[in-house]
Every structure is written in C-alpha cells, then in structure tokens.
A and B are shown apart, each in its own frame.
Chain A
Amino acid sequence: MGNPYTVPAIVAVTLATLAIGFYGLKLARTTSDFLVASRVVSPTWNAAAIGGEYLSAASFLGVAGLILKYGVDVLWYPVGFAAGYLALLLFVAAPLRRSGAFTLPDFCEVRLHSPGLRKLATGFVVFIGWLYLVPQLQGAGLTLTTVAGGPYELGALLVGVVVTANVALGGMRAITFVQAFQYWLKLTALAVPAMFLVLHWQADGRPPVTPQEGLTFPAATTVVIEHDATLTYADGSSKEVRPGEELVFQAGDAVPQVSDVDTAHDLDWLLPGNDAGGMFGTYSLILATFLGTMGLPHVLVRFYTNPNGAAARRTTLVVLGLVGLFYFLPTLYGVLGRVYTPQLLMTGETDAVVLLLPTAVLGTGVLGQLLAALVAAGAFAAFLSSSSGLLTSVAGVISTDVLAHASDRGPGQRGSVRDFRMAAMIAGLVPVVLALNVASLDVSQVVGLAFAVAASSFCPLLVLGIWWRRLTDFGAAAGILVGGGAAVGAVLVTILGPPLEGWAAALIAQPAAWTVPLAFAVMVAVSLATRRRTPPDVGTTMLRLHAPESLRL
C-alpha cells in the first residue's frame, strides 16, 4: 500500500501494550494481584477493560465487512453482540460475582460440587477459547498483509507472541490496564476517521448508497480476479474471467456482479429478510449472540475483579453503554463502503473495508494516510486485546484445573504464578500453531460459532444454576454434553465438512436455534430425573448468590 505511517502505528500500539503490561508487572506483587487484580479495579476501569477485551477483530473489521456485503440483515450481529451484555446483566452478573467463582469450572464447583462436571466445563472453556483465538490471529495476519504487505505468517505470529508474553509476564492486573487503554484506542480509531468520512461524503453531495442505476466506481479502479468467475454487468451482458486477469474500470463505470462472491444487491441489501438462511438464520443468530456472551470465558473472568455484586451490575451496565457506543461506527463504514470501495464486492475481501476506506475516500495525501494508520492501529489493538483476554481465561483454567491437579494441589486450588505462566505458554502455543496451519476461516462466521457453542453449553448452566434449585450435576453435565456437543459438532462440520445445501445448511451454519433449547430441555429433564442428587446445601448457595451485600452475611 505504501503508507509510511501504518507500520510505525502498529509498532506503537504493540509497544504501548507491552509498556503498560510492564508497568502493571511492577505493580503485581502477589499471586492475588496477578490473577484477579486484587479485586480493586474500579467499575469504570473494569467496564472499559471488559469492552476493550470484547471488541475483537470480528467487531472491528468483520461487522463492517458483513454490512458492506449483506446489508440490513447482518445488523443483528452488532445488536446481538451488545444485547448479550443485557442478558448477562439480567440473569448472571450480580449472582455470579457473589458466588465468588473466578471461572466457569469454579462456578460448577461452588454450585454443584462435582469434579466431573468441573472437568467437562474446563474442556468447553478451552475449546471456546481456542475457537475464538484462531480467527483473531488469522485476522492479524490478514491485516498485516493488507495494510503493510507483510507476510501473513508474520502478523499471526507477532500477535501470538506479544499476547502470550504479556499475559505470562503481567497477569491480569496488567491486562486490565491494557484492555481499558485499548477500548478507548479502538473507539478513537473508528470514530475520528468516521467523522472525516461523513464530512467528505457530505461535501461530495451525498452520493446515494443504493443508486437507481446500480453501484458505480467512484474513481478509476483496477480489480485483479483471483478465481474463475462470470461477471454480470448492469445491462445484462456477462463475461467469463480467469485468475490473474486485470480489469480496469473508469470513474462512473457500473460495478459488475461476480458469480463466486456472495453479496446482496440493491433492494436485497437495503431491505430485510432476503438472506439465504431466511428467518431461521436470523433468529438463530439472535439467540446465539444474545445468550452466548454470558458463556464466553474471557467475559466471565472479569466479573471477579468487581468488589461485590452491586458493582458487578453497574459495571455490566457501563459495558453495555460503551459497547453500544462503539457499534454505531462499523455500520457507517459498511454503508460508506458501498459508495467508495465497491471493488471489495467483486473480490469478496469485504473484511478490509475499514482498513481501506480512509485512503479510498480522502485520497493518499497525509490526512488519508494518517487516518488509515490510525485504523490499522485500532485493528491491531482489537487483535491484541481480545486475544489477551481469551488467553488469560484459558490459561486460568489450565493452571487451576490441569496443572494444579497434576502437581497434587487438587482442583480449585489457585495455582502458583509459575503454573499460570506455564499455562499461558501452552494456551498461546496451540492457537498460533492452528492459525498457521488451518486454512483461513471467515472471522465473523467462526466467532458466531463460538457464540453458539457458549450459548448451548454455559448459558443454560449459568441461568439454571443461578435461578433453579433443582439443578443437579448429572442434569448440568447431560445438558452441556448434548446441547454443547451438538453445537461443537455443527462447528466441526462447518469448518471441516463439505458444503451443505438447503435446510441442513441453515441448521448447521446457525445451530443456536435448536441447540440452545435442546441444552435447556436436557438439563431440566435429567435434573428432574436425578432429583436425589440435588446438592444438600442448595439453600445456602442460593442465599450466597442472591443476598445483597448490605446484609453482611
């Protein structure tokens, strides 16, 4: 791309992350500091940190790309990503904090006292964490290739190593400062260029987003074809193209449709209800995102840093506001991308729209290049912060449940700092290896699947565990195995299996609409069948989960 500011911006973000991590390291003196920031993080810091951790590559790049491609139907992604925090607030936040559980396996221990269930939960935490980590690293590789022309492996490796080192050296306290910083960086990196983009669009005389005569190129553009495809022009004529062929378009030329790139056009893009999965897909997505957030391991681990249940509730509310504020922006990029970067609809690389829009709109002058560098820095912040959070939580369960177990301290005992560091290495190595070897996966799709798995396994466990006295360990395990297992199966078929057609495709691509009710139903039915296994101390646990702190019980 030849932008002289991009690489320094990415390096600056990486160095700032390491520097804040190092500053945190100096503060982290005890194991407690290291693991849970000694529970003294203020709600505002904590909320910004949760937001920073949550807004991943899928939010920063993926949402705008999807909107550019598919239009109004995918607005459910940002709405669902935000609404997940409302579900978390309503059903989980305060009781989970009061339970004193640091991770989901801890919650199983507190509520149901079952070592077997604890192991099962550990397995799911690690699976979801890695499923979420791989696309982050791949997104980093892709970003580096797009904006700086560097090799793909370098980006994935760079983010993997920086994040692993930061988590292993600084622990959670460092991460809290890093994450909070990165939330504001990400917001700025989208908001500032967005203002310039909108002003420029105004000055252009507000070119329509869905013009009557179809999309046209705003400037002379060269598109390089990568696959055999058929181009369909606006006048109905078509043309076969071969890989490597360069097509030159002049400003004002109509944008042809490319046969192997799945996009929505004109009215399909503008109006709801025309996507392939139809209403089933939409509702499945809503269910997965609304209910999946509460089951994401890196989200839950943060609640322990709140001083009490009431603070956890307020923190969640602030997060909802911060995340909602952020999600106004990707929509804007997706919409303006139709006007200024229509060539992405021909190549299908719509995830790059956020990165390319500043220079496409504002030209390759200093302003355009500076803003492009800012956006690239924000994208890197997104990879770094989400990966750090995921890695901390995966390392957390590995150190407390696998390593501590191996060293005879027993499950549930907080491992030593050395255990945690070793766990961070293991937790970081696996996704880096996967990211370098597995074929590139679509960022938003994989993240959506991670949400579906979380919604079908941990959401029922948390909701029933917190609100229903009769939940038993057998019921919980059966629900997680059947519902979560079905969702995992759907994930594996989607990633590894052959492409499917018709209803089977819809059921597998967006599994939440059937796996979530299945998980709830199995959990309730098996719990009722094994009524005698209800923990004898369920009353005490309920009191602990729900009694306000002001009673000082």
Chain B
Amino acid sequence: MELDISLWWVRLPDMEQPTTGAGAPQRTRIVLAEVVRSRDHDRARAELAEQTQVGDALVRGLVRAQLALALRLSVVVAIGLGALPLLFAVAPTTSTVKVVGISLPWVLLGVGAFPFLVVVGLTYVYLAERNEQDFTAVVRRPER
C-alpha cells in the first residue's frame, strides 16, 4: 500500500510540471527539488514493488547472492565438522594424536567446534550485510 502512494507522488509532478511549472515558480521549485532528488530512488523502489523485469531481476540477484553465501559457508561447516566422523573412521590413528595431553577428537569436538561455529557466523553476518549494502546501492542508483 505504501508503495502505491509513493509511486503516485512520483508520477504526479512529472505530468503536471509543464503546465504548473511557470505559474507558481516558488512552489514548483520546492516540489521539483524534492522530486528530482528522490525520483530515481523511488522509481527503483517502484520497480521492485511492481515486479517489473528489472525489479524482479534485482531481487532474484539478491536472493541468489545470499543463498550462495549461506551454502558456501554450510560447505565450510560440512567439511570442517561433518567430515570428522569419516576421518576418525578412515584414519583411526588421527584419534590417538594428543594435544596438550588430551586426545584430538576431544579437543576438536569439546573445545574447538564452538569458536569455529562463531567465526563462521561472524563471517556470514559481515558478508550478508555487505550483500545487502550492494543491493541497496544498486537500487538507489539504477542507471549504473
């Protein structure tokens, strides 16, 4: 609903500009300034909201980027943690290695796993927010 209203705001001055522009200069200038500054932005938002081809492509791109990021980090976890049972089964000697007197599986699963998960999480939050910033930047300057 909000989106429709903003669209209406953008188009109305566009159409009326030639006739009313000369008649009331003071008033028009203020309106014009407001509209010009936000028109590109609003048009892009309108495209997103109206599901035009451009808007649709933008959203699909964002979703794909975020999904690819999530999947890539899942693969990191799948290899980093998910491969451990396999490793211990295939190469049993790895589980008898000792780190500061504690055998390796205990160190990896009991201690190492948690900081590892937090680091992956931190990476995700950083990169996901960057994807969103990129998206916002494209939407605000659709011509580039």
Q: What residues of chain A have their CB less than 8 Å away from a CB belonging to chain B?
A: 72, 75-76, 78-79, 82-83, 85-87, 89-91, 94, 270-273, 279, 282-283, 286, 310, 313-314, 316-317, 320-321, 324-325, 327-328, 331, 467, 539-540, 542-543, 546-548, 550-551, 553
Most chain B CB inside 10 Å of its own CB: which residue of A94, A546, A553: A546
- Distance, CA A316 to CA B124, complexed state (A): 11
B51 in contact (CB, < 8 A): yes
A91-B70, A272-B85, A286-B82 given as contacts; is B117 within 8 A of A324 (CB)?
yes
Q: What residues of chain B have their CB less than 8 Å away from a CB belonging to chain A?
A: 2-3, 45, 48-49, 51, 55-56, 59-60, 62-63, 66-67, 70, 73-74, 77, 81-82, 84-86, 88-89, 92, 95-96, 103, 105-106, 109-111, 113-115, 117-118, 120-122, 124-125, 128-129, 132-133, 135-136, 139
Contact, CB under 8 Å: A548 / B115: no
The 4 closest A-B pairs by CB, nearest first: A324-B114, A75-B109, A548-B132, A90-B70
Most chain A CB inside 10 Å of its own CB: which residue of B55, B62, B128: B128
Using CB atoms, name the residue of chain B closest to A290.
B77
Query: What residues of chain B lie closer than 8 Å to A325, measured between beta carbons?
Result: 114
Contact, CB under 8 Å: A86 / B77: yes
- Distance, CA A525 to CA B21, complexed state (A): 59
- Distance, CA A551 to CA B62, complexed state (A): 13
- Distance, CA A272 to CA B132, complexed state (A): 42
Contact, CB under 8 Å: A279 / B74: no
Contact, CB under 8 Å: B74 / A90: yes
- Distance, CA A313 to CA B125, complexed state (A): 7
B117 contacts which of A82, A94, A271 (Cβ < 8 Å)?
Answer: A82
Given contacts A547-B59, A553-B49, 18 further A-B contacts (CB under 8 A): A72-B103, A82-B113, A89-B121, A89-B124, A271-B88, A273-B85, A273-B95, A283-B82, A286-B85, A321-B118, A321-B121, A324-B115, A540-B49, A542-B60, A543-B49, A546-B66, A547-B135, A548-B135
Query: What residues of chain A lie closer than 8 Å to B113, measured between beta carbons?
Result: 79, 82-83
Contact, CB under 8 Å: A273 / B89: yes
Q: How far is the CB of A425 from chain B (nearest CB, A)?
A: 38
Contact, CB under 8 Å: B89 / A279: yes
Q: How far is the CB of B3 from chain A (nearest CB, A)?
A: 7
Q: How far is the CB of A46 from chain B (nearest CB, A)?
A: 15
A551 contacts which of B124, B128, B136 (Cβ < 8 Å)?
Answer: B136
A314-B125, A539-B51 given as contacts; is B132 within 8 A of A550 (CB)?
yes
A82-B113, A540-B51, A553-B48 given as contacts; is B63 within 8 A of A313 (CB)?
no
Query: What residues of chain A lie closer than 8 Å to B82, measured between beta carbons?
Result: 283, 286
- Distance, CA A83 to CA B81, complexed state (A): 10
- Distance, CA A379 to CA B95, complexed state (A): 33
Q: How far is the CB of A450 from chain B (nearest CB, A)?
A: 21
Query: What residues of chain B lie closer than 8 Å to A331, measured between beta carbons?
Result: 106, 110
- Distance, CA A286 to CA B109, complexed state (A): 12
Q: How far is the CB of A265 from chain B (nearest CB, A)?
A: 16
Q: How far is the CB of B111 from chain A (nearest CB, A)?
A: 7
The 13 listed contacts between A and B (C-beta, < 8 Å) are A78-B110, A79-B109, A79-B113, A83-B113, A85-B117, A271-B105, A282-B85, A314-B125, A324-B117, A542-B63, A543-B48, A546-B62, A548-B132
Contact, CB under 8 Å: B63 / A271: no
Q: How far is the CB of A393 from chain B (nearest CB, A)?
A: 24
Using CB atoms, name the residue of chain B closest to A467.
B67
Most chain B CB inside 10 Å of its own CB: which residue of A91, A272, A273, A467: A272
Q: How far is the CB of A409 from chain B (nearest CB, A)?
A: 22
Query: What residues of chain B lie closer than 8 Å to A89, measured between beta carbons?
Result: 121, 124-125
Query: What residues of chain B lie closer than 8 Å to A543, measured between beta carbons?
Result: 48-49, 55, 59
- Distance, CA A313 to CA B73, complexed state (A): 15
- Distance, CA A286 to CA B85, complexed state (A): 10
B114 contacts which of A279, A327, A546 (Cβ < 8 Å)?
Answer: A327
Q: How far is the CB of A478 from chain B (nearest CB, A)?
A: 23
Contact, CB under 8 Å: A313 / B59: no
Query: What residues of chain B lie closer than 8 Å to A91, measured between beta carbons?
Result: 70
- Distance, CA A286 to CA B49, complexed state (A): 40
Contact, CB under 8 Å: A83 / B136: no
Query: What residues of chain A lie closer than 8 Å to B81, measured between beta carbons?
Result: 79, 83, 286
Q: How far is the CB of A151 from chain B (nearest CB, A)?
A: 36
Query: What residues of chain B lie closer than 8 Å to A550, measured between beta carbons?
Result: 132-133, 136
Contact, CB under 8 Å: B109 / A72: yes
Query: What residues of chain A lie closer than 8 Å to B124, measured between beta carbons?
Result: 86, 89-90
Contact, CB under 8 Å: A317 / B121: yes
- Distance, CA A241 to CA B63, complexed state (A): 64
Most chain A CB inside 10 Å of its own CB: which residue of B66, B92, B110: B110
A272-B85, A320-B118, A328-B110 given as contacts; is B105 within 8 A of A546 (CB)?
no
Query: What residues of chain A lie closer than 8 Å to B128, measured between beta carbons?
Result: 94, 313
Q: How far is the CB of A231 from chain B (nearest CB, A)?
A: 29
Q: How far is the CB of B105 from chain A (nearest CB, A)?
A: 5
Query: What residues of chain B lie closer than 8 Å to A314, measured between beta carbons?
Result: 125
A547 contacts which of B51, B62, B89, B103 (Cβ < 8 Å)?
Answer: B62
A72 contacts which of B105, B120, B122, B135 (Cβ < 8 Å)?
Answer: B105
Query: What residues of chain A lie closer than 8 Å to B74, measured between beta carbons?
Result: 87, 90
- Distance, CA A324 to CA B82, complexed state (A): 18
Using CB atoms, name the residue of chain B closest to A548.
B132
Query: What residues of chain A lie closer than 8 Å to B60, measured between beta carbons?
Result: 542
- Distance, CA A467 to CA B67, complexed state (A): 7
Query: What residues of chain A lie closer than 8 Å to B70, measured between beta carbons?
Result: 90-91
- Distance, CA A328 to CA B49, complexed state (A): 47
Q: How far is the CB of A332 from chain B (nearest CB, A)?
A: 9
A90-B70, A546-B63, A553-B3 given as contacts; is B117 within 8 A of A317 (CB)?
no
